[in-house]
Structure 1
């Protein structure tokens, strides 16, 4: 997966990069002596519909260090027992496609998702692999350090989304849950920030799971142990920081917002500073999360 990043210094008149597939398609059209209008006419004559869709949102689920393919979407039922794993494949709604027995609902809806088995990389080092999968760039940037994020790192996919997409409904265009990726030793994993695009392009990190020095996982306070299969945690997960504190009603919260806005109007000089403007954007995003009825319905 490659990501083309245009720097702010790049000329507006420079040519956009074309993928190899796009170049081959364009060359084939010319070789056949067809113009784009003729290609469109041929599609109409054969009853082919334009299958170009514009997605409204993308959820990128990054499983740090987890979910082996032979235990999920690329089962190896005919491999030796010590290789294929303990789980068994089940059929999906797509003929010839099998996935893990523990994904029955996904199996029933296989017509609604696509499985890509051709994307891979050659790195066995965790920090480099994180950087590759979070940025979409296989080559390491100049000055890359596996222990510390650098200003020369490639920007993350989330950072690019923030830089190229307008906010909607007062919410930032890119948000990351449940935390920044932090190793249990305390070092921050590189590749999840804006890197060479500058810190102001960093995605909004909703740090709902604080760092835990003795436990792994997205929500380490649950102290999940994959080896302790007989002890199911009965606690129901509830997303923190996305609802009003106990005792604070929505009208009172709106009154507080009005008071803050009145105070802000009296601080025009302070509001003109870049640091304060960044804070104000984060504050508005937090207010939108707390007051949006759709967020409350989801909770």
Structure 2
């Protein structure tokens, strides 16, 4: 009798512990495909607060704990039954039913870099294996359209692609967008005086050189990754959809004001445009929390 598979929901996936029994993500996707239920296209945004505000001052105040453990602020009720958060976050309190608070994540790695790597990859750091960041996994399993980057980091990567290779690393913007200033994305923004037609001519010349020399060298993984990134960059540069996604000047003033004209607001606005265009994973950095003295 032929076997049949029913689609797995995320909750069911967690219940049966499918990842812990040896199933890979690709096998899980195959099960869904055999069940006739294609995966819906989804995207993810990761906002990383470098040094982060303390959990007992934000989402886990521990009001009944001893004074030396609990936060100094008062908790307030939220729209999610039984969930209380900091009194200084009323807007998040009104939207609590739209997000989940994870209070059981911890580690004993006594270094910021190691802790960040653990958090961003889901694996304890080890010198033997370089694990990929979530965005790189998404980039490999759920790639964006050919004229869009699958994974973008504003303004620099939090972690890298690890063993997946450089072709699944993020496109780093190199800087944050600033209101009222032209935003140039390193690697895909054309220089002054360089048109698409001129760029295509240069691309054809480079392609000819690559063909002429391909028999004289053996490409390692890093070079192949760079070549694939170059191909991707060419498609992005040539795509009006991609160029428009990075162009914040196309946003109306009301949206600019809603997100804020500061660097972080503009970064999140850019993130929204990228997700709407079809980018699958975007990270945004907001650093400067780890002051050591002004806490």
Scaled by the length of structure 1, the TM-score of the pair is: 0.56
Q: Does 1:60 align with 2:37?
A: no
- Contact 1:180/1:207 (CA < 8 Å) preserved in 2? no
Distance 1:199 1:278 in 2: 8
Distance 1:239 1:99 in 2: 36
Counterpart in 1 of 2:183? 242
Q: 1:240–1:73: structure 2 CA closer, same or farther, 3 Å change rule?
A: farther
Which secondary structure does the structure 1 equivalent of 2:44 belong to?
Answer: coil
Q: 1:241–1:20: structure 2 CA closer, same or farther, 3 Å change rule?
A: same
Q: Does 1:111 align with 2:97?
A: yes
Task: For residue 54 of structure 1, report the CA deviation from its aligned partner.
Answer: 4.1
Greater Cα radius of gyration, structure 1 or 2: 1
Counterpart in 2 of 1:278? 229
Distance 1:109 1:101 in 2: 14
Which secondary structure does the structure 2 equivalent of 1:83 belong to?
Answer: coil
More helix per residue: 1 or 2? 2
Distance 2:180 2:154 in 1: 10
Q: 1:64–1:55: structure 2 CA closer, same or farther, 3 Å change rule?
A: farther
Scaled by the length of structure 2, the TM-score of the pair is: 0.57
Task: For residue 291 of structure 1, report the CA deviation from its aligned partner.
Answer: 2.6
- Equivalent residues in 2 for 1:141-180 (5 A)? 141-143=126-128, 152-168=129-145, 170-180=147-157
Counterpart in 2 of 1:202? 169
Q: How many residues get paired?
A: 204
- Equivalent residues in 2 for 1:71-220 (5 A)? 71-138=57-124, 140-143=125-128, 152-168=129-145, 170-181=147-158, 192-208=159-175
List runs of 5+ in structure 1 lacking aligned partners: 1-17, 25-51, 144-151, 182-191, 210-218, 220-236, 245-249
Higher relative contact order (CA 8 A, sep 6+): 2
Q: Does 1:22 align with 2:16?
A: yes
Distance 1:155 1:240 in 2: 34
Q: 1:293–1:278: structure 2 CA closer, same or farther, 3 Å change rule?
A: closer
List runs of 5+ in structure 2 lacking aligned partners: 1-11, 19-37, 215-223, 252-268, 271-295
Moved more, 56-65 or 289-298: 289-298
More strand per residue: 1 or 2? 2
Distance 2:246 2:156 in 1: 24
Task: For residue 241 of structure 1, report the CA deviation from its aligned partner.
Answer: 6.2
